Amino acid sequence: MDKWVCPVVTSHSPGNTDIAPGVPPVPQDLLDQCAREPIRIPGGIQPHGAVAVLRPDDLVVIQASANLGAILDRPVTFDGSQTLGDLVGPRTALENDVRLWAGGTDTAFLEQYQIDGRTFHVSGQRTSQGLILEFESFDEAERGRSASLYQLLRDFLDNSDGLKTVADLSAGVAAEVQTLTGFNRVLIYRFDEDWNGTVIAEKGDGTLPSYLDLRFPASDIPAQARELYRTNRLRLIPTATYTPAPLIPALCPTDGAPLDMSVVALRSVSPVHLEYMRNMGTAASLSISIVIDGRLWGLISCHHAQPRYVGPQIRAACDFLGRIVAQQIAARERAAEIDERLQLKNIETELVAHLARAPGFQAGLVDCASQWLALTNSPGAAVVTDGIVLAAGKAPPIDSILSLVEWLRTRNVDQIYATSTLSADWPPGKEIAGVASGVIAVPISRLHASFILWFRPEVVQTVRWGGDPRAAKATDTAGRLHPRLSFETWKQEVRERAQPWRSAELLSAADFRGAIINFVLQRAEERAQLTEELQRSNKELEAFSYSISHDLRAPFRHIAGYAELLGEEEPDLKALSRHYLDGIIAAALSAGELVDDLLHFSQLGRTSLKMTRIDMAKVMAEIRRSLAITEGQRPVEWEIGVLPPAWGDTTLVRQALFNLVDNALKYSRDATPPRIKVWGQDRPDEVLYCVEDNGVGFDMNYAGKLFQVFQRLHRQEDFEGTGIGLALTKRIIDRHGGTLEAKGAVGQGAAFSFTLPKRQTGGNRGHA
C-alpha cells in the first residue's frame, strides 16, 4: 500500500472491534506520537524535483530546496536576493505568467516551460507563507504518448458503461492504471466505516505478491495522513531509498515557522512510511485518491519492485482517471441506494396502510411481521411500549430487550441508534450476539422508554489480514517510530459483528419512525377528544345522579316513616298485613341507603379534597368501635398490624377503609371464626394498606367487575348491600392519585389493598 503507517501493537482478541475486528486499539502514547509526526512540515522534498517559495509582491525567492540549482542547472544564492527573473531569466514566459498569477485570485498554477532549452513541468500553489513553485524535468519521450494516453482514457470511458457494479469498475480501473503506469501491481483499496481498508481489486504481473481481499487496520493510515490523501489526490514516490533535499533556510522567512507543505506534490514523506515500503518489498509507489462527496472513499495504489519514475503527463492522466472513477462509483452507489430506497418505501407504505386500520400499531406490526422485518432487511424486530414487549422473527429474550431499552433510554437517543457491534457499546450485548449483534433502535416517545427495534445476528467470518498487526514494533531505543515487519497473510475469526446497516436501511427506519409518531399523535388526538366527551358526559351524569339522589332521599324517608306510624296506629293488623307493612319499611330503608350511597358517589366528583396528615391507627380504632355496634357479640378475630400515617382527605380515606373492613366482615360472616387482618407498609413514595379476610372470596376471572357500580359477584339474597361501596372506594383512592387492587380465591378469602402517595415537598399530591 502507498501508506504512511502508524504501528500497531496488539494481542489477538476475537470480538474486539475498536480498531478492526479482533484487533485491540493502539496504545494512546503511540497514537499521540503518530499525531505529532510532522508529515505536513517535513522540512525537505523528494529529490526528483525542486521547490522555490516566492514573495507574492516582488517574486523574490525567500526559501528553496537545496537541489534547486542542480535541477535548473543555474546558480542559487539562498540569501533572499534572487527573484524568479534572476533564476529563470527576466521577461521569460514563466516569469510573466507567474507575475500575472501572483496578482490574480487563482489558488493553483500549472504549465510547461522551456528553461535553457530544457522542458520543465511547473506547478504552483498560493499559501499564506508565499507562492510555492515546484519544478520537475519533463521527459520529451512522454510527449509522444499524449495521443495514446487520450486513446486509452477514451476507450476506458467507453467500456466503463458496461461495468455495472463497483467491483467490476474497480477491476477495470486497476487494469487501466497498470497499463498507463507499468507498475508491477495496482490495487484498489477501499475504506470501511471504521477506516479499515480492504483490497477489492488488483492487477499485477506476478512480480509482487497478491493482496486481493486482504484487510489492513485503520492504524496503518492515521487520520492526519488520510486528510492529506483527501486534499492532495496524487502522490509519487519513485524510490523508497531517497535522501530528502532540505529547505534553505529551514524556517520560512514570512512567519518564522516551518513551511507547510500539505499542498506540495514533492513533499518528502515520513521515514516511517519509507521503512514500511521497504518492509513490504516495494521500491516505488504511486497513489491516486478516490474522493467522493468530499470524503476519502479509497485509494488506487501502485507498487513496483524496483525504483520507477512516472512523468507528469502520465500522472495527470492517472489523476483524471481517478476523478472519473470517483464520479462513476458515486453514481453507481447512489443508483443502488435509490433503488433500495424505493423498494423499502413501498414496503413502508403498505405497512402504514395496514396500521391505519389496526386497533393499535403494536398489534398491527405483529400482524404484518414480514413487512416490518423487511423495512430494514432484518430477521428480528420488537416494539416496546409501557414496558410491554411484542416481538417478531428472531429476537432476543424479553428481559434482554427490556434491559437494552433501559440502556437506550439512559443514552437519551433522540432520532436513531444503529450499530453492527452492540457488545462494543453495551457489554451485556455479548449474551445476545447470536440474534442481536446488529441493532437499529428508534424512539417513539419523548416521555417513556418506547422503542421500535430491529435485530441482526452476528456473522461469524474469517478475515484475512495483510500481515499480523501483532508483529509491529513500536519505538526503538532512540524513541523513533517503526512500522510492522510482517506482511504474511494472517487469518482471524471475527465474532459479535453483524452485517453493517446500509444507508437506505437506516433512512427507512428513520422514515418509519416519523410515520409511527404521526400515527401515535393522531390516535392521541382521537383519545383526547373522546376523553373530553366522556368527561362532559360524566359531569352531566354526576349532576343528574346528584339531583335525583338528593330529591329521592326525603320521599323514601317519608315512606318508611309513614309505614312505621301505620304499624303503631293499627296494632291489630293481620299477620299478612303486618308482613306487607314490614316489607314496605325494609324496601324504603334499602332504597334510602342506595340513594345515600349514590349521593356520596356523585359528590366525590364535585367536592375538593381537604388534604392533611391522617393517623390511620386512630381511624382504624374508630372503625372497629363503629362496627362493634352493628355486629353485636359476633366473635371476630382481629389482627391489626402497624398502620403508618397517611396524607389525604380524612373523611374520604376513613370512608374507603371503612368500606373495605365492612366488606371483609360481611363476606366472612359464615367463617368459623371470621378473621380480619389489617396492616400497612411504608414505602419510599407511597403508603400501602391492606385488608384481608377468610370469607367466601371470589373468582379472579371476574375481578374486573369488583369496582364497577352495581356490579356484584354474589347474590343479593346472600349478602346485603347496594353494590356501590367498592366503586365508591375506588373513586376515593383515584382522587388521591393512589391505586386499589383485589386478590382472592373462591372459598379462601380475599385481600383488598390500596396505596396513597406521600406528601411531596413544596405541595400536595391531592387533586382539587
C-alpha cell belonging to residue 292 = 467522493
pLDDT, greater one: 153 or 437: 437
Of the candidates 55, 91, 87, 94, the residue with the CA atom closest to the CA atom of residue 69: 87
Output b/e per residue, 378-394; b: 16+ Cβ within 10 A. bbbbbbbbeeebbbbbb
Query: Which segment of 124-128, 171-175, 496-500, 680-684 scores lowest on mean pLDDT?
Result: 496-500
Mean pLDDT of the chain: 80
The dihedral over CA atoms of 14, 18, 19, 23, expressed in degrees to the nearest 10, equals -20
Q: What is the mean pLDDT of residues 275-293?
A: 91
Query: Which segment of 102-106, 156-160, 518-522 scores lowest on mean pLDDT?
Result: 518-522
Query: Which segment of 95-99, 241-245, 329-333, 631-635 scores lowest on mean pLDDT?
Result: 631-635
Over residues 586-600, the pLDDT tens digits come to 666 555 555 555 555
Domain spans, the chain: 28-39+143-245+267-336, 44-142, 607-757
Of the candidates 519, 122, 193, the residue with the CA atom closest to the CA atom of residue 360: 519
Position 30 pLDDT exceeds 90 = no
> Which pLDDT score, from 0 to 100, does residue 557 have?
65
CATH topology agreement for domains 28-39+143-245+267-336 and 44-142:
yes
Position 423 pLDDT exceeds 70 = yes
pLDDT, greater one: 677 or 356: 677
Over residues 692-725, the pLDDT tens digits come to 999 888 888 776 677 775 455 444 444 444 457 7
> Which pLDDT score, from 0 to 100, does residue 245 have?
95
Which range of 238-252, 353-367, 480-494 scores highest in mean pLDDT? It is 238-252
Output b/e per residue, 555-582; b: 16+ Cβ within 10 A. ebeebbeebeeebeeeeeeeeeeeeebe
> Which pLDDT score, from 0 to 100, does residue 551 have?
53
In CATH, the number for domain 607-757 is 3.30.565.10
8 Å CB contact between 675 and 668: yes
Position 768 pLDDT exceeds 50 = no
Phi-psi map region of 581: left, alpha, beta (phi>0 left; psi -120 to 50 alpha): alpha
Position 24 pLDDT exceeds 80 = no
pLDDT class of 14 with cuts at 50, 70, 90: very low
HSE, CB side, 13 Å, CA atoms: give it for residue 273. Answer: 23
Position 143 pLDDT exceeds 80 = no
Paired strand residues for 454 = 381, 440
pLDDT class of 417 with cuts at 50, 70, 90: very high
Position 307 pLDDT exceeds 90 = yes
Over residues 658-671, the pLDDT tens digits come to 889 988 888 888 88
Position 474 pLDDT exceeds 70 = no
**Beta-carbon neighbour count of residue 655 at 10 Å?**
18
Q: How distant, in Å, are the alpha carbons of 225, 264, 569, 651, 697 from that of 289? A: 12, 15, 117, 82, 81
Position 326 pLDDT exceeds 90 = yes
Position 567 pLDDT exceeds 80 = no
Query: Which segment of 95-109, 362-376, 630-644 scores lowest on mean pLDDT?
Result: 630-644
pLDDT, greater one: 459 or 603: 459
Position 353 pLDDT exceeds 80 = yes
Paired strand residues for 217 = none
Query: Which segment of 17-26, 215-224, 235-244 scores lowest on mean pLDDT?
Result: 17-26
Position 131 pLDDT exceeds 70 = yes
Query: Which segment of 378-382, 410-414, 645-649 scores lowest on mean pLDDT?
Result: 410-414
> Which pLDDT score, from 0 to 100, does residue 747 have?
86
What CATH topology corresponds to 28-39+143-245+267-336? Answer: Beta-Lactamase (3.30.450)
SS (H, E, C) 619-638: HHHHHHHHHHHHHCCCCCEE
> Which pLDDT score, from 0 to 100, does residue 134 have?
96
pLDDT, greater one: 568 or 179: 179
C-alpha cell belonging to residue 739 = 391505586
> Which pLDDT score, from 0 to 100, does residue 11 have?
26
d(CA 353, CA 267): 61
pLDDT class of 174 with cuts at 50, 70, 90: very high
> Which pLDDT score, from 0 to 100, does residue 12 have?
27
> Which pLDDT score, from 0 to 100, does residue 395 have?
93
pLDDT, greater one: 337 or 568: 337
Which parts of 685-738 are beta strand (E)? Answer: 686-693
SS (H, E, C) 14-76: CCCCCCECCECCCCHHHHHHHHHCCCCCCCEECCCCEEEEECCCCCEEEEEECCHHHHHCCCC
Nearest-5° angle of CA 731, CA 735, CA 739? 75
Domain 44-142 of CATH type 3.30.450.20: yes
Phi-psi map region of 213: left, alpha, beta (phi>0 left; psi -120 to 50 alpha): left
d(CA 62, CA 82): 8
pLDDT, greater one: 567 or 677: 677
- The percent of residues above 70 in pLDDT, for the chain, comes to 75
pLDDT, greater one: 652 or 127: 127
> Which pLDDT score, from 0 to 100, does residue 722 have?
46
Of the candidates 286, 186, 276, the residue with the CA atom closest to the CA atom of residue 233: 286
> Which pLDDT score, from 0 to 100, does residue 148 have?
76
pLDDT, greater one: 435 or 596: 435
> Which pLDDT score, from 0 to 100, does residue 587 have?
63
> Which pLDDT score, from 0 to 100, does residue 523 have?
55
Of the candidates 372, 367, 377, 301, the residue with the CA atom closest to the CA atom of residue 341: 377
Position 16 pLDDT exceeds 50 = no
> Which pLDDT score, from 0 to 100, does residue 157 have?
82
pLDDT, greater one: 51 or 314: 51
> Which pLDDT score, from 0 to 100, does residue 601 have?
52
Over residues 66-120, the pLDDT tens digits come to 999 999 999 999 888 999 999 998 888 999 999 999 999 999 888 989 998 889 9
